[in-house]
A and B are shown apart, each in its own frame.
Chain A
Amino acid sequence: MAWVPRGLRDGIVTTSYPRRPDGYGPGFVGSVAVSQVPGDPPDALADAVTACPTAAIVVSGNVVQLDRGRCILCGRCSELAPGTFRPDPGFETATVGRRPLVVPARAGEEPDDATLAAARAALGRRVRALRRSVHVRHVDAGSDGSDEWEVSALTNPVYDVQRLGVFFTASPKHADLLLVTGVGSIGMTGPLEQVYDVMPHPKVVVGAGVEAVTGGMIGRRYASSGGVTGVIPVDVFVPGSPPSPFGLLYGILLAIGVLAGPVVIGAEANDARTAR
């Protein structure tokens, strides 16, 4: 019976997130922040663009944009052009739709309040039935294996997603939320489509990790689709390579409408099949 007292010994190790902020967030680089006005000389910026291993940075004229759907957080840009790029702590980086991953939004392209509210309401209507009991089916579509560690960490006593009414399920037919990792390897496109098709409505899809968004370091090749957005429609994107467990948790909560994040659903982002 040695395990019974052992189970009680450590007390509660579970985070209070999302009810209260978690202290782990600030100690963790979750994204790269980009200044609205570049604070570096042009050659330093050019160096940062060249050094980026996934071509995530685009400079045009006086505007610098970084695509978090490509960024693997290698930190080179913030070393070469520290006036423009800054490692940002925190893990609440997931977005609804693909476009908000490109930061900062160009002048005139920032979503206005009405668009935000409408988009939030649309997703809210779709997932209203799911809020208190969400069954998640995870599918690995060509990950490097680290993503699965972070996904399975959600069931350890620190994150303990069950306390939030989120459960992992074996059968896609019981699943409400599809959590996809990986580059969209060609061998997995068929099985992934099948899983998506047999899931009952309403369903929501979270693409986890830059590999699922753009293919990351692998990109698009003979065996890789360069992300899963061309295979199934993705609602919520979680950046990171791999995303942290808190980042995944935030993405899941965002997808089921528990949290109101910076919600932007462009029609083109929501229907990925036509977008490509």
Chain B
Amino acid sequence: LNEDVVSEGTATTMFPDTMRRVRHGARLCGLFALGDGSASGATRLVAVVSDDGTLWSEEAALARGQRRFASLAAEVPAAAWYERRIHDLFGLRPVGHPQLDPLVLPLRRGVHAPLGPDGHAEQPLDPDPTPLRAHVHGEGVFTIPYGPVRSGVFETVEYLVETAGEDIPHLRARIYYKHRGVEAAFEGRTVADGVLLAERVEGVASVAHALAFCGAVEVLGGIDVPAGAQLARVVHAELERIANHLDTVVRHTEAAGQAVAYAAFSHHKERVQRLRGRLCGNRFGRGVVVPGGVARPLRLAPSEVLSALGKLQHDVEDDFRRLMGTPSFLDRLRRTGILSNDDARRFAALGPVGRASGAHEDVRRSRPYGAYERLGNPVGTPESDGDALARQRVRIEEIEGSFHLVRQAADMLDELGEPARWRSPVPPLTGEAIGWAEAPQGEVLSLVRLEEGRLAQVAQRSASFHNLAAYPAAFGKDILTDVAFIEASFGLSIAGAAG
């Protein structure tokens, strides 16, 4: 079929409602290519928008043989990475895209998209290791590749820094090294197996991904999650947030050469991981959140949780006071890696990154799920400086908030006593739904399509994918030695971004 048979129209004709909402300040959450079960490959594009505490999705059907669609990215920068991903994986071309470089699959020409309209020919990739063409030109400008094998224990990623020596006028991230093909791995699995895979999309945010995935299944089936299970989920999810936020502090102190602070905070993080292990048998909270509830109750009595928490919180907050009073540390973060409020809005930045730059949405409050509806959710101080220090302050406040939430949940579990059940049964379902959760990195979305209890397609969108598109915008006034701080302060997981 000739791919020009069908005109792609414009973004406004394709997604009238989405474009209208985004023009009025709504946040684009993502753009996805989905099949409908009747044919192989993608048959629809789905745009998801968050507007005033409600999630809206709008579909644009693709005509048979249509391989092109009108790009939204020229007007909505937040769509740019979604369109590059759709182009790589599904072979659909966004016409008018400002910069259609390969993202998750830098294939040599001629190899077709693995999830594309020609069906799922899962042929092995043939990566092209030559760097992307330079974007900055001028005398003495050269490109420094950081990665893919980094100096230290980091996730694999390559940052191409185009520089004339010290300043960083331009930075690009290449994430394809880590692309594992997670979306394809969901297909055909049961929902029970699907949640185990969702936990491994972004391993450091296993609980949040499991919650988003299960949320979609529960919405689809109209399943009530028992009150006790909802509270247990909050305990696991908030401890995950504390561990992740402490991890960014550990990386900051390591980059700043603050040896004692590094030892102190990495010890605190280990204590949190061990507490999580004691609560559920896994240091990452895996295997606990299941569709319909939790697999098992907390292994510690609420009173034991509270006493473990008290000492931990005291020690963590004591060290935060010390760290935030250490000028040689603060100097490295202040005015470093500024993501302007304007850029945060354009890229619809999520999580602590967005909240440090004036984009204050936290889906635990704006679209509360599970027990968050009943818990007093502390509102953080609005930050708008947008630098690494602001992101650090946001996370410190969130850690305090998370301790507060875990304590509330443990108290309520104590009052509840032993509930009749910890999970509701999940019948074999057919249909499509969207679930969400606020991961430590920001909002996780899960688009789940089920056919008679089996997963037909799952798009598990991490906040890391969404925020990594905004990451280059935080460079500009910085120099090479700031890179470590900017990276740590974004707190992104490359696994979650590369999929």
Q: Which residues of A contact B (CB under 8 A)?
A: 2-4, 6-7, 10, 13, 24, 27-29, 53, 72-75, 87, 138-153, 155-158, 168, 170-172, 182-183, 185-188, 190-191, 195, 216-219, 221-224, 241-242, 244
Answer yes or no: B309 CB below 8 A from chain A CBs. no
With A145-B493, A146-B206, A187-B177 as known contacts, state yes or no: A3 contacts B270, CB within 8 Å.
no
- Pick out which of these stretches binds chain A: B5-13, B218-226, B281-289: B281-289
Return 9 A-B CB contacts under 8 Å, by A number.
A73-B287, A145-B155, A146-B204, A148-B154, A168-B153, A185-B177, A191-B148, A221-B185, A223-B181
20 extra interchain contacts, Cβ-Cβ under 8 A, other than A10-B267, A53-B192?
A3-B258, A13-B267, A29-B281, A53-B193, A74-B196, A142-B156, A143-B203, A144-B495, A153-B266, A155-B153, A157-B266, A186-B179, A187-B106, A188-B177, A190-B129, A218-B180, A221-B180, A221-B185, A222-B114, A223-B125
> Is A3 within 8 A of B260, CB to CB?
yes
With A139-B156, A158-B270 as known contacts, state yes or no: A224 contacts B264, CB within 8 Å.
no
Answer yes or no: B127 CB below 8 A from chain A CBs. yes
- From A7, which residue of chain B is reached at the shortest CB distance? B260
- From B296, which residue of chain A is reached at the shortest CB distance? A75
Q: Which residues of B contact A (CB under 8 A)?
A: 105-106, 114, 122-125, 127, 129, 148-149, 151-156, 176-182, 184-185, 189, 192-193, 196-197, 200-204, 206, 247, 258-261, 263-264, 266-267, 269-270, 273-274, 277-278, 281-284, 286-287, 295, 319, 322, 325-326, 493-496
> Is A217 within 8 A of B200, CB to CB?
yes
> Is A144 within 8 A of B127, CB to CB?
no
Nearest CB of chain B from residue A217's CB, rounded to whole Å: 5
> Is B149 within 8 A of A145, CB to CB?
no
What residues on A are CB-neighbors of B125 within 8 Å? Answer: 186-187, 222-223
Which of B106, B182, B266 is in CB contact (< 8 Å) with A156? B266
- From A29, which residue of chain B is reached at the shortest CB distance? B281
What residues on B are CB-neighbors of A183 within 8 Å? Answer: 180
> Is A218 within 8 A of B185, CB to CB?
yes
With A139-B156, A145-B495, A146-B203 as known contacts, state yes or no: A222 contacts B149, CB within 8 Å.
no
> Is A3 within 8 A of B261, CB to CB?
yes
> Is A242 within 8 A of B124, CB to CB?
no
Which of B204, B274, B278 is in CB contact (< 8 Å) with A149? B204
User: What is the bound-complex CA distance between A157 and B129, given in angstroms?
Assistant: 39
Q: Which of B124, B178, B182 has the most CB of A within 10 A?
A: B178
* Leading 4 A-B pairs by shortest Cβ distance: A146-B203, A144-B203, A156-B266, A170-B151
What residues on A are CB-neighbors of B283 within 8 Å? Answer: 150, 244
What residues on A are CB-neighbors of B286 within 8 Å? Answer: 74, 241
What residues on B are CB-neighbors of A28 within 8 Å? Answer: 277
User: What is the bound-complex CA distance between A188 and B322, given in angstroms?
Assistant: 41
Nearest CB of chain B from residue A103's CB, rounded to whole Å: 20
User: What is the bound-complex CA distance between A231 and B336, given in angstroms?
Assistant: 40
User: What is the bound-complex CA distance between A29 and B105, given in angstroms?
Assistant: 37
- From B261, which residue of chain A is reached at the shortest CB distance? A3
What residues on B are CB-neighbors of A2 within 8 Å? Answer: 322, 325-326
- From A152, which residue of chain B is reached at the shortest CB distance? B153
> Is A6 within 8 A of B127, CB to CB?
no
User: What is the bound-complex CA distance between A220 and B489, given in angstroms?
Assistant: 34
User: What is the bound-complex CA distance between A171 and B150, given in angstroms?
Assistant: 9
- From B318, which residue of chain A is reached at the shortest CB distance? A6
Which of A74, A139, A145, A152 is in CB contact (< 8 Å) with B203? A145
Nearest CB of chain B from residue A133's CB, rounded to whole Å: 19
User: What is the bound-complex CA distance between A223 and B104, given in angstroms?
Assistant: 10
